[in-house]
Amino acid sequence: MSKFDNSFTDELRQRLSLVDVISRRVALKKRGANYWGCCPFHNEKTPSFAVNEEKGFYHCFGCGEHGDIISFTMKSENIDFKDAISELADMAGIKMPEIKQKSAEQIKAEETYIEITEKAAKKYQDLLYSDAGKHALEYIKKRGFSDEMIKKYGIGYAPKSDIISSTFNNIKIDKLTATGLVRVGSYGPYDFFRDKLMFPIFNAHNQIVAFSGRSLDGSEPKYINTADTELFHKRQTLFGFNFARDAIHRKNRSIVVEGQIDAIQMQNHGFGETVAPLGTALTEDHIAILCKSNRNIVFCFDGDNAGQKAAVRACTIVLPFLRDTSDIRFAFVTGGKDPDEILKNSGVDAMCKIIDNAMPLVDFLWDSVNKNYLVNTPGGRAQAEKYLKDCVSKIQDKIFQNEIEQEYNNRKFNQWHKWKKQEYKNEIEIPDVDIMTINILKSIVQTYPEISEKYMDFLVSLNISFDEDVKNTELSIKEAEKFIISFKLQIEIKKLEKNKKELLSNALNGKDYDKDLLKDIDDKLKFYKDKLELLLDVNK
Ligand SMILES: [Zn+2]
């Protein structure tokens, strides 16, 4: 604890509401001076966990746990003091005091680095408004950037000449190369970024640590970034995060888009919580950064093939971060457009609609599995099932994992095996089944997917639509299975009796009939009736 001065933890306690923090995990209701909920530290059904917002502590009258905002975060997430402080600081949107002891030399080097990158950014900005940067300014204005936005994001222009290496020729070359802005070739130092529209990349402390340069002559790649340096790691950096941080906290969600210009335009059209990876695929580090504030993310990708692939990838990366309180969604911008174009051509409302209609992760995963595998063949279904199973196993919260598994079992039964109906349609004629029985069957199917799987062929042969929502059955799993077996036997008996009646009426009308068949039917009838009696007997 000594590593932090007390004023910082006090500031956290002051900035954050204890009720807010606890409410992320426990449903609280106000009663009198306190808020009450079911204790997260012991198993209980009636609330004995009290939270006093004013005094800033909680107390459980069931198990005796008590503490404040920091101990709650440590205990409920099973993390140490430092991590709890860091998470709360993120929640509060305030900077963590630096605790890592850096050598004086290291601090000096970092200061020089930042000094160079910030000065370079200033130089690039000036150049954007010079003759040399005319075409760059024209381009960015055409993309809908105002002077104000250009200033806010520090956008600039790197000319075709070696502007950085010549302007900073009083600085030691190894200090320049450390920033990635200058490289040394066989003819001496040269600038890495040339004829590029420059987007500064900020760290969490709002300092410029790197740049992303966009080509202006249509050459590929569209964007090049500073190669990783001591202070910049592409896989751990989200473009726009420094600007989005407060909004992510305030709006309790983040939006991830594919491109930097998209992120800027989103931020300036009311979606302040938007960020973008830096021309790379999303990484676990990216998700971890976002999940520090909250676990509610909307991924907004292009509707094309690449966008779908990126979404599937994001889905597998985010799964280990999923909690039962998370809201992870996938939105797609279709028609070969990106968020920037939607905002420009169709307006903010259209974009709102796309975000609002984003698909929940559970549905997205199901959807993509059905798209990517031939689920109308047994082999395809097996592959799809393996993939789904693998995905679901990545969810850390076991109870939540179980729920999702059940959900997919239901879907597998209701959607994948529907096609079997056709196959059976004309083979088995079911004697009238009353509506009550049908409803019991439906609720069994809904409640116990494992029974559905076991008696799938029989259930499907009934040609009843099971996909409508009904109440869960009150039968135990054993009773439910007995119900299905006895129902199956009754149907067999009814069918056999119908056959027997036909046979006998033929005989009465003087027609030929198969005596052996009649005996066969009688034997079977006895067998089924005995079995049914035994089953019902055991039931008593
Ligand atoms: Zn308790």
High-pLDDT (> 90) share of the chain, %: 40
Neighbours of ion ligand 1 (CB under 5 A): 39, 41-42, 60, 62-63
The proportion of the chain whose per-residue pLDDT surpasses 70, expressed as a percent, equals 94
Beta bridge partners, 34, equal 31
For 149-193, give the secondary structure using H, E and C. Answer: HHHHCCCEEECCCCHHHHHCCCCCHHHHHHCCCEEEECCEEEECC
Round the average pLDDT of the chain to a whole number and report it: 86
Q: Tell me the three state secondary structure of residue 396.
A: coil
CB 236 within 8 A of CB 283: yes
Would the pLDDT of 151 be above 70?
A: yes
pLDDT in tens, 164-214: 999 988 889 999 999 999 999 888 899 999 999 999 999 877 899 999 999
Residue 462, pLDDT > 70, answer yes
pLDDT value at 363 more than 90? yes
CA 209 to chain centre: 29
Residue ranges with strand state E in 341-424: 359-360
**Cα of 69 from ligand 1 centre, angstroms:** 16
How far, in Å, CA of 280 to CA of 258, rounded?
Answer: 9
Q: What confidence score (pLDDT) does residue 423 get?
A: 43
Euclidean distance between CA atoms 201 and 485, whole angstroms = 66
- Local confidence band at 451 (pLDDT 50, 70, 90 cut-offs): confident
What CA–CA distance (Å, rounded) separates 187 from 460? 77
Q: Find the 388 Cα to ligand 1 centroid distance in Å.
A: 36
For residue 42, report the distance from its CA to the centre of ligand 1, in Å: 5
Checking if the pLDDT of 471 tops 90, the result is no
The answer for 347, left when phi > 0, alpha when psi is -120 to 50, beta otherwise, is left
Which pair of tokens denotes residue 297?
Answer: 């993310």
Q: Mean of the pLDDT values across residues 439-460?
A: 82
Report how far residue 448's alpha carbon sits from residue 430's, in angstroms, rounded to the nearest whole number.
Answer: 23
Distance 22 CA to ligand 1 centre (A): 14
Whole-number Å distance, alpha carbon 24 to ligand 1 midpoint, is: 17
Residues 142, 261: Cα–Cα separation, whole Å: 12
Backbone angles phi, psi at 460, to 5 degrees: -65, -35
Instruction: State residue 421's pLDDT score.
Output: 45
**In the block, which residue shows the tokens 């306190």?**
34
What separation in Å is there between the alpha carbon of 71 and the centre of ligand 1? Answer: 14
Spatial CA neighbour of 196 closest among 133, 240, 154, 273: 133
**Lowest-pLDDT range of 106-120, 384-398, 427-441:** 427-441
Radius of gyration from C-alpha coordinates of the chain: 33
Task: Kindly give the distance from the C-alpha atom of residue 80 to the centroid of ligand 1, in angstroms, as a whole number.
Answer: 20
Alpha carbon distance 160, 138 (integer Å):
17
Give the H/E segment covering residue 332: strand 327-333
- Distance between Cα 63 and ligand 1 center (Å): 4
Ligand 1 centroid–CA 50 distance in Å is 10
d(CA 234, CA 285): 10
Res 162: pLDDT: 92
φ, ψ of residue 393 to 5 degrees: the values are -65, -15
Q: How far apart are alpha carbons 145 and 148 in whole angstroms?
A: 8
pTM of the model: 0.63
Strand order in the sheet with 296-302: 238-239, 274-277, 254-256, 296-302, 327-333, 359-360
Ligand 1 centroid vs 79 CA: distance in angstroms? 19
Ligand 1 centre distance from Cα of residue 46 (Å): 11
pLDDT at 126 over 90: yes
Q: Is the pLDDT of residue 430 over 90?
A: no
What is the 65 CA–ligand 1 centroid distance (Å)?
Answer: 6
SS (H, E, C) 465-507: CCCCCCCCCCCCHHHHHHHHHHHHHHHHHHHHHHHHHHHHHHH
**The Cα angle at residue 351 between residues 348 and 355, in degrees rounded to 5:** 135
pLDDT tens-place string over residues 278-312? 877 898 889 988 887 788 999 999 888 888 888 99
Ligand 1 centre from 61 Cα, in Å? Answer: 7
Query: What's the 8 CA to ligand 1 centre distance in angstroms?
Result: 29
Structure tokens that stand for 197 in this block: 């529209």
DSSP state at residue 217: S
Q: For residue 191, what are its two tokens?
A: 């600038």
| 317-341 mean pLDDT | 87
Which region, left, alpha or beta, applies to residue 361 given φ > 0 means left and ψ of -120 to 50 means alpha?
A: alpha
Instruction: Measure the CA–CA gap between 462 and 152, rounded to whole angstroms.
Output: 66
Ligand 1 centroid–CA 306 distance in Å is: 49
Q: What span, in angstroms and rounded, lies between the C-alpha atoms of 334 and 359?
A: 14
Q: Is 209 exposed, middle or buried (CB count within 10 Å of its CB: 0-12, 13-18, 19+)? A: buried
So what's the pLDDT on residue 81?
87
* Digit-coded pLDDT (tens) for 376-395: 888 888 999 999 999 999 99
The C-alpha atoms of residue 316 and residue 323 are separated, in whole angstroms, by 14
Q: Tell me what pLDDT residue 154 has.
A: 96
On whether the CB atoms of residues 175 and 112 are closer than 8 A, the answer is yes
Q: How far apart, in whole angstroms, are the C-alpha atoms of residue 297 and residue 248?
A: 10
Place of tokens 């970024």: 193
Q: pLDDT digits over 336-349, tens only?
A: 678 888 898 888 99
Contact 358, 329 (CB under 8 A): yes
> Cα–Cα distances in Å, from 101 out to 65, 107, 231?
35, 10, 16
- Quickly state the pLDDT bin for 422 (edges 50, 70, 90): very low
Q: Is 506 left (phi over 0), alpha (psi -120 to 50) or beta?
A: alpha
Burial 272-297 (b: 16+ CB within 10 A, else e): bbbbbbbbeebbeebbebbbbbbbbb
Strand 196-202 versus strand 208-215 pairing type: antiparallel
Task: Supply 476's token pair.
Answer: 């135990």
Question: 156, exposed or middle or buried, with CB in 10 Å at 0-12, 13-18, 19+?
Answer: buried
> Which pLDDT belongs to residue 179?
95
DSSP state of 224: E
